[in-house]
Amino acid sequence: AQSVTQLGSHVSVSEGALVLLRCNYSSSVPPYLFWYVQYPNQGLQLLLKYTSAATLVKGINGFEAEFKKSETSFHLTKPSAHMSDAAEYFCAVSENQAGTALIFGKGTTLSVSS
């Protein structure tokens, strides 16, 4: 069975510092991997997705993630945090089948201080 583990339920950084949110997955087949962001009292918005085209994926708002098959990881990074990045971030995995639902991690809340 697929699963997603997000290490750290809360991450705090200073404005301008590197953001690193960790995600490890388990899947028996080549997966699709996603990062979603949720701002307070809103729905989920796609940040970026990995679909086997390139291992380094660039998303919106300056975020990127690198797929490392050997480490079964898909960590999310941003070189310089902004106050507006404060939100909850979810990593998700989907198998390569039509209509398959996403399996979500438990989420990581990112706090950014000035």
Partner 1 sequence: NAGVTQTPKFQVLKTGQSMTLQCAQDMNHNSMYWYRQDPGMGLRLIYYSASEGTTDKGEVPNGYNVSRLNKREFSLRLESAAPSQTSVYFCASSDYRHLREQYFGPGTRLTVT
Binding interface with partner 1 (CB under 8 A): 9, 32, 34, 36, 42-46, 49, 51, 90, 94, 98-107
Nearer to partner 1, 17 or 32 (CB): 32
Closest by Cα among 101, 78, 74 to 90: 74
Nearer to partner 1, 2 or 17 (CB): 2
Least distance CB 108 / partner 1 (angstroms): 10
Least distance CB 45 / partner 1 (angstroms): 8
Strands 44-50 and 56-58: unpaired
Alpha-carbon span 59 to 75, nearest angstrom? 13
Nearer to partner 1, 69 or 106 (CB): 106
CB 63 within 8 A of CB 77: yes
- Give the torsion sign (CA, 54, 104, 39, 19): negative
Least distance CB 92 / partner 1 (angstroms): 8
